[in-house]
Amino acid sequence: MSNKTIKPLISAEELLTISQNNNLVLIDTRMGKDIKATYLENHLKGALHVNLNNDLSDIKENLANGGRHPLPSIEKFSKVITNLGISPDSHVVIYDDKSAAIASARLWWMLTAIGHKNVQVLNGGLKEAIKVGYPTSSGEETPVKVPLYVIDKWKLPMKTMNEVEKISQDKDYLVIDVRAKERYNGEVEPIDLIAGHIPGATNIPFTSTNLDENGLYLESSILKKKYEKIIGSKPLKNVTVHCGSGVTACHTLLAMAHAEIEIPNLYVGSWSEWSRNNKTIATNLNE
């Protein structure tokens, strides 16, 4: 397979055409209560399940230390993807049952960040695959045994909490908060302890910005125009994207990659870390 990175999204029809490829590794990232039981009951044939909390994060006892979904160590992630049968030449396709592809986008970002070339997210997720007749199965699936996937480091750009604090109100930089408007405004906070946003951050909600009325990603050209307008003349190295815990932010990073825009910085700790560390909090209440 070519070393050229493939497109970050794959349609259900395209997935169906490559379903018999030997190097295809299909990953189910669905989230929720009793999700393993849901996976065992029904999933796309051949798909292996990963758990956001256990496999794609290293959650600390004190969430002030990294937020709700800190990245796992390189060593842990290496073992996780090896146990899934992923090797450097695997064609990895990731799906979930949210049209927003939340956990799927996180795993896509993580694999892209270690330099994996052939990784895609299924546009529209499980529903779209079933719609085109992709076969489903139940019970456990057996991964292919592969040698340890050796990883060097995270290669995509990231910002720490203190780095974000230094730049968030600097007009030469752009900090994008992809959470829902009411959370950004400080009207409601359903997950974290305090409502509001990082001072200086710009609210670009991921669902209303990135998806069409059917829950599919907008066309690349449309997203390109949107994000070029949002970013303006700022270099991508001066752009940082965050959310509640560094997961849904990856949805917007995926949208940018789909739009053929260079992937900017991710602030993994996001609001869940910021709001637990006595940092200044802004709201748009009483406006």
pLDDT digits (tens, 9 = 90+) for 81-120: 999 999 999 999 999 987 667 899 999 999 999 999 999 9
Residue 110 lies in a domain: yes
Query: Tokens 């779209």, residue?
Result: 128
Distance CA 203, CA 7 (A): 27
Number of domains observed in the structure of the chain: 2
pTM over 0.85, yes/no: yes
pLDDT digits (tens, 9 = 90+) for 60-80: 999 999 999 999 999 999 999
Distance CA 268, CA 189 (A): 19
Same domain for 169 and 262, yes or no, is: yes
3-state secondary structure of 156: coil
Q: Which residues pair with 137 in a beta bridge?
A: 43
Distance CA 240, CA 160 (A): 10
| Domain encompassing residue 100 | 9-137
DSSP per position, 19-58: TT-TTEEEEE---STTHHHHHHHSEETT-EE--HHHHS--
Same domain for 92 and 198, yes or no, is: no
From 102, 119, 243, 259, active-site residue: 243
Q: Is 250 a catalytic residue?
A: no
Same domain for 197 and 253, yes or no, is: yes
Which residues neighbour 257 within 8 Å (Cβ) at sequence distance 6 or greater?
8, 112, 263
Residue 231 lies in a domain: yes
Torsion, CA 74, CA 76, CA 82, CA 86, rounded to 10: -50
Which residues neighbour 178 within 8 Å (Cβ) at sequence distance 6 or greater?
204, 205, 206, 209, 241, 242, 243, 248, 249, 251, 252
pLDDT confidence bin for 204, thresholds 50/70/90: very high
Answer yes or no: is pLDDT of 33 > 90: no
Last residue of a domain, one of 137, 170, 200: 137
Residue 250 belongs to a domain with what CATH number?
Answer: 3.40.250.10
Distance CA 267, CA 177 (A): 10
Q: Distance between the two ends of the chain, CA-based, in angstroms? A: 55
Q: Specify the amino acid at residue 120.
A: Q
Same domain for 202 and 114, yes or no, is: no
